Amino acid sequence: MPVRPVGEVVGAPGAERVLLHAEVVYDGIGLPRPDAAVLLQAREGGYWLSDVRDHAATARTFPEARAVDGGFAVSPPVVNAHTHLDLSDMAFEASPYAAFMERVIAHGRAGGRGLAAAERGIAELKRHGVTVVGDIVTDPAVMRRLLEDPDLTGVAYWEVIGLRDEEADERFEEARRLVAGFRALERPGGVRVGLSPHTPHTVAPRLLQRLAAWARVEGLPLAIHVAESPLENDFHLHGRGALAEWLAAFGASVAPSGVSPVRYLYDLGVLEAAPTLVHMVNVSEEDVRLVARAGSVVVHCPRSNAALGCGTFPWQLYAKHSVEVAFGTDSRGSSPDLDVTREVAAAREAHGERANVRALVRAAVKGGHRALGLMPPQVRRGGGADGLVVWC
């Protein structure tokens, strides 16, 4: 379900009005509309937005308007709020979560991550019509590449992993030095530098607290992978399972907390920084209440979750507590492509009537911008229609 600019779909401007209708229409203002239409008026060089209305009523009011089918949705451009562009050369494979993590480590050790892979990922993003992205970065060269890209905006999150408490100060100072250098390269309107403590179980508690406190003081966007796999609850609550064995093999000082991963972040004070929380599949209602209280945005990666056997994202629970949701593709290792509209289609299939299609479109646009700390776009009446895309 690739997105295309409005002009490509409706054709060159003529003298007539155009009625572009779709299952969902969203101009970024208020809530998306079901079975609606965008009324376009030709002008020199393109179209301007005359109105957004009910499809049938607008067709009756403007019978002379040329009708164009916009397919599933018309909206401002979608956002990929979570990906790993430096894993774009990793082969997609459905596998258990633990096996996937082993594949990621092996891929990195074999030299598969880095700038060349990220370049291919950036090119793919743009082919899918995405220029707003939240990327997890592990290579300084990739960070510099994202910061200098004239077409991209969003956040490049520098990833930090530190399994042992005795390394906390060293890891923290290294992250602070690197991030300070990256921030000097930021450009107005371009990609911002953020920080990503990898997960609650791969960052020792003291380091996790220091990183979150620093991000809060410095105004750094923060993103953390949380509650992706049931293995995380098994480890945190009971200190057992494949994740516990993996951490022990690496000499981690992260110990079972006796609470859920989300509660663990709350107890450490990490949620005070309102981090963007990625995945959040295996959660309780208490967890969701804590997230709502913190004002965090949750990023949903449905195809990755399905491929790794992580479970079903509790869409209704987040809606019940008014938690903002965004969409991300995750990496090419756990998702077949970087097309966010296909994530939306996968979520629609997985959640069925439990997820309103208008909410899905809103999450892909407004939710994505909010996950990255950006102002959501709005296409107002009288403005250019080039701020809209067609999902078809």
Q: DSSP readout, 338-370? A: --HHHHHHHHHHHHGGGS-HHHHHHIIIIIHHH
What's the pTM value of the predicted model, to 2 decimals?
A: 0.96
pLDDT tens digit string along 190-244?
A: 999 999 999 999 999 999 999 999 999 999 999 999 999 999 999 999 999 988 8
Clarify whether 174 is annotated catalytic: no
- Hey, CA dihedral for 248, 250, 254, 258, is it positive or negative? negative
Architecture of 3-75 per CATH?
Answer: Roll (2.30)
- Indicate whether 68 pLDDT > 90: yes
How does residue 268 score in pLDDT terms, banded at 50, 70 and 90?
very high
- Burial call 119-147: b when 16+ CB within 10 Å, e when fewer: eebbebbeebbbbbbbbbbbbeebbbbbb
Fold of 80-371: TIM Barrel (3.20.20)
What is the C-alpha to C-alpha distance for residues 343 and 154, in angstroms, rounded to an integer? 19
Kindly indicate the confidence band of residue 187, based on its pLDDT and cuts at 50, 70 and 90: very high
End-to-end CA distance of the chain: 5
Which one has a higher pLDDT value, 253 or 301? Answer: 301
Burial class (CB in 10 A: 0-12, 13-18, 19+), 310: buried
| Calpha distance 57→367 (Å, rounded) | 29
pLDDT tens-digit readout, 16-52: 789 999 999 999 988 999 999 999 998 877 899 998 8
Single out the catalytic residue among 23, 228, 232, 324.
Answer: 228
- Pairing between strand 191-197 and 223-226? unpaired
CB count within 10 Å of CB 106 equals: 11
Contact 1, 391 (CB under 8 A): yes
Token duo for residue 6: 């409005």
CA distance 35 to 14: 25
Cβ neighbours of 251 (radius 10 Å): 8
Distance, CA of 200 to CA of 232 (rounded, Å): 9
pLDDT of the residue at 341: 97
The residue extents of the domains of the chain are: 3-75, 80-371
Q: List CB contacts of 374: < 8 A, sequence separation 6 or more.
A: 132, 153, 154
Q: Which residues pair with 17 in a beta bridge?
A: 41
| pLDDT at residue 15 is higher than 80 | no
Mean pLDDT to the nearest integer, 139-154: 98
